[in-house]
Chain A
Amino acid sequence: MFGAFRTTSSLGGGLLWKIPWRLSPHQKYRHRQRLRAVDKVVETVANALAKKGETLKAVERWQAEMPTEAEMLPKDKYTIFDRKEKKYRKGIHKLPKWTRVSQRVNPPGY
């Protein structure tokens, strides 16, 4: 039960990574900064093209479908829909490459 031969999950199974179930306040802060940075890029591109009188489908679609950081609900900012979870939500940090992908909308009603 104690000592070098105790059976813990990490000793028993080898590699064990634990991802905390929730984000820390600082992780949430940095996540908001990243969301804002993406908003800024889209805005810059849209403004630059508008000045030339051009439009781009990718930009229009983004602006139509994706809420900006300020418009997002905290629920959508920090959690993501998952059908296997209790109450259908898990932390956004469980999403692979979550700091470098855009995940802003979830199924309606969840």
Chain B
Amino acid sequence: MSYFRITLHRSAIGLPKRTRGVLAALGLHKRSQVVYHPVEPQFAGMIMKVKELVRVDEVDKKLSKWEVHMERKPDPGFYVESAVRRMEDGRAGQGNEGERVVVEGLRTEGGEEVRL
């Protein structure tokens, strides 16, 4: 099933109420917002009403809001090879190292308690 990926590119400020109504019906409320609608004449007709304001692509898959957000996010320029366990605040050098602490949800594979 294919979808129209519709992005609101131009704002509808100052345009007729009918035009703004069409955008609201498409679910577009602010610029750069992305919505997906199936390829059907009724949605095609709505796009034709606001063709000057939107950008349209035909896509095979709907992306979630989060995926659309991640698409827009720039590359951070680094990646974490392996996460390092962090020392808890204020614990270092207080003499209670080696204390046995059971942390919920944090257990080794053998079911042993974890030393912090």
Query: A-side interface residues toward B, CB under 8 Å?
Result: 34, 37-38, 40-42, 44-45, 47-49, 51-52, 54-56, 58-59, 62, 97, 99-102
The answer to whether A49 and B54 have CB atoms under 8 Å apart is no
How many B residues have CB within 8 A of the partner chain? 23
A56 to B41, CA, bound (A): 6
Query: B-side interface residues toward A, CB under 8 Å?
Result: 2, 4, 9-10, 12, 14-15, 39-41, 44-45, 47-49, 51-58
Q: Which residues of A contact B58 (CB under 8 A)?
A: 44, 47-48
- A33 → chain B, closest Cβ, in Å? 12
Prevailing SS type, chain A contact patch: helix
A40 to B54, CA, bound (A): 11
Q: Which residues of A contact B4 (CB under 8 A)?
A: 44-45, 48
